[in-house]
Amino acid sequence: MTSTNPALAAALEAAATGDPRRYVITGGPSSGKDDLIEAVHAAGIPCMAEEPGREIYRKHRERLGRHLLKEDRRAYSLEVLEAFIAEYTSHTHGIRFYNRGIPDGYGWEGFFGLKPTTELEDATRTYRYDAIFVLDPLDTFEDPDDIVWAKDREIRRVHELIVQGYYDAGYEPVFVQPDSAAARLDFICANLRLPKPSRGA
């Protein structure tokens, strides 16, 4: 896809043959991540197509005939981790945004009362990202897919655990305040010293 902002397109092209630069966008449920990822794609910035955990969750749910319970989550988590590692290693040059990253696993494992697996610990040390952007939760709540979040405090708890997971993994996340997807993407690009996509709209 070609960026609508010529300056941004030029910056992406200039970086395309250089070392890989990997940037994670993450946050708890109801953080506006899907809208922001859609804006990243619309701006022509290379990005993961979809958070892999969702499709894997659907497959496990179909096989089990119910939502995953705590005892189901080890196999699920390891499959998600494998997908994240494959996504990471397939990118070898230029800029790429990620819809969640490997250390997200710490937050989700913690929420379900599980300790991190050895595989997650090893992957976190081996596969490092260049920057982490955490979306602060929005006031509105949407649950389009898999997991029913009946209590606002559960949403907050997941968000806090994800953030803590990145700190524990040695990152210093950049927090992105609630705003429109376009404004949030402008903020992220400015932080990365990239031209703001909205200036080409």
CA–CA separation, 162 vs 164, rounded Å? Answer: 5
Q: How far is the first Cα of the chain from the last one, in angstroms, to the nearest whole number?
A: 15
Handedness of CA 106, 111, 116, 117 (dihedral sign): negative
H or E, element range at 72 = none
Q: Count Cα neighbours of 27 within 13 Å in the Cβ-side half-sphere.
A: 21
Q: What is the pLDDT of the chain when averaged over all its residues?
A: 89
For 92, 103, 132, the CA distances from 24, given in Å and listed in that order, are 16, 10, 5
Task: Work out the percent of the chain whose per-residue pLDDT is above 90.
Answer: 66
Give the span between the Cα atoms of 15 and 12, in whole angstroms. 5
- Alpha-helical segments (H) within 16-143: 33-42, 52-64, 73-90, 104-111, 118-126
- Number of H helices and number of E strands within the chain? 8, 4
Q: What is the pLDDT of residues 93-145, one digit of tens each?
A: 999 999 999 999 999 899 888 999 999 999 999 999 999 999 998 876 555 55
- pLDDT confidence tier of residue 146, bands split at 50, 70 and 90: very low
User: Using CA atoms in the order 114, 116, 117, 123, what is the torsion angle rounded to 10 degrees?
Assistant: 150
Is 102:124 a contact under the CB 8 Å cutoff? yes
Of 104, 80, 100, the residue nearest 165 (C-alpha): 104
Rg of the chain over all Cα atoms, to the nearest angstrom: 17
Average pLDDT of 19-28? Answer: 96
20, amino acid identity: P
Segment 145-168 shows an average pLDDT of 79
DSSP 47: B
